[in-house]
Amino acid sequence: MNVLPFTILVWLGGMAAGLLGSLTGLGGGVVIVPLLTLVFGVDIRYALGASLISVIATSSGAASAYVREGYSNIRIGMFLEIATTIGAIVGASLTTALPPGTIAVIFGGVLILSSYLSSRRPRDNPDCVPDRLTARLRMGGTYPTAEGEKPYHARNVLGGFGLMSVAGLLSGLLGIGSGALKVLAMDWIMCLPFKVSTTTSNFMIGVTAAASAGIYVGNGYIEPALAMPVVLGVLPGSMLGSRILGGASVRLLRLIFTLTILALGIEMIYNGLSGGF
């Protein structure tokens, strides 16, 4: 394939990934890596590097809008970033030690887990009583709804912190935002409303990706000619997603996204086990 058609197709794929990543809080990497490796035949480590840069762009494009609109909880996000940043550095360091097939199988397993988590019914209005630690840390807030500002409270911050460490490790190892685990930690473990969880996840994934991107650069896995069209597609896609999140029907989006990444996960595992990487 010539350079121009390749660049245009990667740009379009990046835009779709940014849109889906912004709407679901899972990050665009879960689409970018399978797209580059399975469709375009890019080496998986270079695909992971491009994905990391796209994750930073996704977070940058959506996070500012979500913060301005009052969805993201900066206090909770910054506290949990301590765990994800440490995990991301460890995960990125493991990338050079594992063979590409093993990374592909792990990535496929994470995609299947993400598809399952995406299919779970979100709790838009959880009724949670904060425990002593979260109350002491003042981990609560309000978010906009059709009826006005609705208050919420977090709980089980230590459980969420532990799962965030795993999310950070997978983010560094696989070049993704690990939004599925971040949303799981905040939505189901810490009892935050779904839209607060997804928007705070979008805020966090950029910091997590930036923590491990330096290691990828040092190992030569960031190729500017590949990462640039990805970023140029992801950024407008994520900004578009942030604009339509408030009135979007998340149910249909989740169904499409779940089926897509489930199929991609199975394909990644198959290619990893059969030596396709």
Question: Over its length of 277 residues, how does the chain's per-residue pLDDT go in tens digits?
Answer: 678 888 898 999 888 877 776 666 566 677 788 888 888 888 888 998 998 888 777 676 667 777 788 888 888 988 999 999 999 999 988 888 888 889 889 988 888 887 776 666 555 555 677 778 887 888 888 888 878 888 888 888 888 899 899 888 988 888 876 766 787 788 778 888 877 887 888 788 878 888 888 888 888 889 988 999 988 888 888 778 767 766 656 567 667 667 777 887 888 898 888 876 6
Tokens 């935002």 -> residue: 177
| 126: amino acid identity, one letter | P
Euclidean distance between CA atoms 155 and 239, whole angstroms: 30
In the chain, what are the domain boundaries? 3-274
DSSP state, residue 142: E
Neighbour tally for 97: CB within 10 Å: 8
Task: For residue 144, give the 3-state DSSP assignment.
Answer: strand
The contacts of residue 99 (CB under 8 Å, 6+ apart) are none
Q: What is the CA radius of gyration of the chain?
A: 18
Beta strands in 108-231 (DSSP E): 140-145, 148-153
Euclidean distance between CA atoms 32 and 7, whole angstroms: 13
